[in-house]
A and B are shown apart, each in its own frame.
Chain A
Amino acid sequence: MRANTPSSLAPTGMSPAGRGLRYSRDTLRRLNVGAVLLAAASSAAAYTVNLNPAAPQEIYLQVGVGAFTKNYNVGGQPGINTTINTVSTTLATGVVGNGTAQAMTTNSTAAQSYWDGFTFCTVPAQLYIGGFFRTTGATTAAAVVTATVPVALTDATGDSIPFSQINWTSSGISDPPTEPFPAGTFVSGGVQTVGSMASNTWNESCWTFSYLNTQVAAAGTYTGAVLYTMTAP
């Protein structure tokens, strides 16, 4: 069979009459199919889409009460709660400065973990602290939670009690001994690390505060605010 180059072919249905050069329908089909296969082979390509990680970092820190639309394990989303919880104790006159630590209680009502609703802390004896940070990539750096601590608690007349008079233990119902936010004592007038969170993990502890009661303070109501800050790498 004699081969004809495709360029010598008029497009199908456009063959001018009386041109003399005619191809059988079968020949045309074969040549056209050959041309199509060539075209397909030259333009076949894979399709590419770009996966773009949006808002790759998310952080959530809860000290005391927090905000979640519902528990995490049923699709809950974290929110913002501006409540400032307190931890306090009231000393009877006879025990002031006697060196017997006094348990402190909180006005926080956060007993359940937002992770699954499990009753994790005992209120009012314990203060919930927990959260997470999300980040993409294979980073292993942890987010750090710090406490910015004033020098002292003060009353209306200017008397003071060093913040170092307050410490805390850490636990959680059904938790192992090791806590992400371990026990500690406030460092007066400093910024101290109180815990850390590995990337993409949920972390929580329950703190039980005590007033060490090793110094005699004048009668009064002493207050001070500690600011907790979470810093993600």
Chain B
Amino acid sequence: MITLSRMASAFFLILALTIIRPPGAHAKTITIDDSGTQALEPSVTMRWKTAAPSRSAGSNLMIGTTTIRVRINVMPWLRHAGRIYLALPAQKPGPIRLSWITQGRFLPGQLVSGNRVLVYAGPITTPFMEDTLTFQFSVSGTLMGRAVPVTYHFEMDEG
């Protein structure tokens, strides 16, 4: 009976551990609440990067800059280490290049739509993380027949 009891205890312990961390579990990525974020301009004015085109039509980039006060809610990860990414999903109108500079809370960087880039790695010590980011979007003018919404988000890798 004692042996059976110990086996049962071991079984429940294993079961409990299995629930907490399944074998082979991967890091979980969660979109971070950024409802406190504010854009200083209502829209990003896109202009030709160069006033004149090249002879071969190879230089049709339009660029636009905007400043955004980023405020993300990281309370769920408070007092834990975290890795925060800026993600720009693949979306219409097509390939979008995004670069940004920061005031220091997050890392500056650049990416092309369909990718993400690490902007913070370290302990989460405050419920909210804030920074002012200056974004520069670059899109081919051939894709910009009209105004287009572009979506990005911050995400946390857990695990």
Binding site for B on A (CB under 8 A): 33, 36-37, 39-41, 43-56, 58, 60, 72, 75-78, 114-115, 132, 134-139, 198-203
Contact = CB atoms under 8 A, between A and B. Distances in A.
How many B residues touch the partner, as a band?
Answer: 35 or more
Interface string B96-108: 0000000000000
Interface string B47-80: 1101111111100101010101000010110000
B137 A72 contact: no
B146 interface: yes
B141 A53 contact: yes
A45 B150 contact: no
A135 B30 CA distance: 40
B16 interface: no
A206 B143 CA distance: 33
23 contacts: A39-B33, A43-B33, A46-B151, A46-B153, A47-B37, A47-B153, A48-B150, A50-B43, A50-B148, A51-B46, A51-B137, A52-B64, A53-B146, A53-B147, A75-B50, A76-B51, A115-B54, A136-B141, A137-B142, A138-B142, A139-B145, A200-B142, A203-B55
Given A44-B31, A132-B53, 6 more contacts: A40-B32, A40-B73, A47-B37, A48-B149, A50-B148, A200-B141
Interface of B: 30-35, 37, 39, 42-48, 50-57, 60, 62, 64, 66, 68, 73, 75-76, 89, 135, 137, 139, 141-153
Contact of A49 (B31, B32, B150): B150
- Which of B35, B54, B143 counts the most A-chain CB atoms under 10 A from its CB? B54
A46 B31 contact: yes
Contacts of A51: 43-44, 46, 64, 137, 139, 144, 147-150
A199 to B, nearest CB: 8
A197 B107 CA distance: 44
Given A37-B76, A47-B37, A201-B54, A52 B147 contact: yes
Contact of A136 (B75, B76, B142): B142
B145 A44 contact: no
B138 to A, nearest CB: 10
- Which of A54, A77, A114 counts the most B-chain CB atoms under 10 A from its CB? A54
B24 to A, nearest CB: 24
A54 B46 contact: yes
A229 B75 CA distance: 63
A45 B89 CA distance: 13
- Which of B46, B66, B73 counts the most A-chain CB atoms under 10 A from its CB? B46
Given A50-B149, A53-B46, A202 B142 contact: no
A106 B139 CA distance: 42
Contact of A202 (B44, B52, B145, B151): B52
A134 B48 contact: yes
B61 to A, nearest CB: 10
Contacts of B73: 40, 43
A96 B148 CA distance: 64
Given A51-B148, A75-B50, A137-B144, A43 B44 contact: no
A50 B51 contact: no
